[in-house]
């Protein structure tokens, strides 16, 4: 119990309950035991306020559950974004090594196209997903279309090229890539 009003307590999501008094509260209790209905304006108002407050409490619980779900989803999205960053870095290492090994500005393989225009390194999927990774200076673009399978394929190719990678200057890993929605 608190003698202050709900407003003074900082409670603004529920209506203040009305005082029924001992006699009315006893009458309601007895009627409930007998499963009888008590009809009185003050009792009706008491019930309406109680139902409203119960509904507000239910909504507050539903909001808390939804907020927790959204926070979990955001954490999962952040984890996936970190994975995509790692995949992008792995793929750019392979692209750089391939381009430096063949000493060409572009390479067109069976599944991917690597390109270097003197400033920007591009890794593009040939299956219609478009550019998966673009690296220019400290700017990174990592597509939402990049998958673990892309990373695995490039890592397999990179392992095959490992003897040729000795002494090559590879780009540093992305710290905060610029990710722009789906392509």
Q: Tell me the three state secondary structure of residue 48.
A: helix
List the one residue out of 90, 124, 120, 88 whose CA is nearest residue 109.
124
Its domain, for residue 134, covers: 82-164
In a domain, 101, yes or no: yes
Predicted TM-score (pTM) of the model is 0.57
In a domain, 60, yes or no: no
The model's pLDDT over 149-170, given as tens digits with 9 standing for 90+, comes to 888 888 887 777 766 656 555 5
In a domain, 87, yes or no: yes
Cβ neighbors of 154 (< 8 A, separation 6 or more) are 90, 91, 94, 95, 112, 123
The model's pLDDT over 54-74, given as tens digits with 9 standing for 90+, comes to 999 999 999 999 999 999 999
Best mean pLDDT range from 124-128, 146-150, 166-170: 124-128
């Amino acid at each position: 119990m608190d003698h202050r009003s709900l407003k003074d307590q900082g409670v603004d999501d529920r209506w203040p309950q009305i005082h029924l008094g001992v006699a009315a509260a006893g009458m309601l209790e007895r009627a409930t035991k007998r499963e009888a209905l008590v009809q009185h304006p003050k009792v009706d108002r008491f019930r309406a306020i109680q139902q409203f407050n119960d509904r507000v409490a239910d909504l507050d619980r539903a909001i808390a559950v939804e907020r927790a779900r959204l926070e979990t989803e955001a954490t999962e999205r952040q984890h996936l974004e970190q994975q995509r960053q790692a995949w992008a870095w792995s793929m750019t290492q392979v692209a750089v090594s391939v381009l430096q090994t063949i000493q060409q500005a572009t390479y067109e393989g069976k599944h991917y196209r690597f390109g270097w225009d003197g400033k920007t390194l591009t890794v593009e999927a040939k299956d219609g997903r478009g550019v998966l990774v673009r690296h220019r200076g400290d700017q990174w673009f990592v597509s939402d279309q990049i998958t673990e399978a892309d990373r695995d394929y490039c890592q397999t190719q990179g392992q095959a090229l490992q003897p040729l990678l000795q002494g090559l200057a590879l780009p540093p890993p992305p710290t905060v890539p610029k990710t722009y929605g789906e392509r």
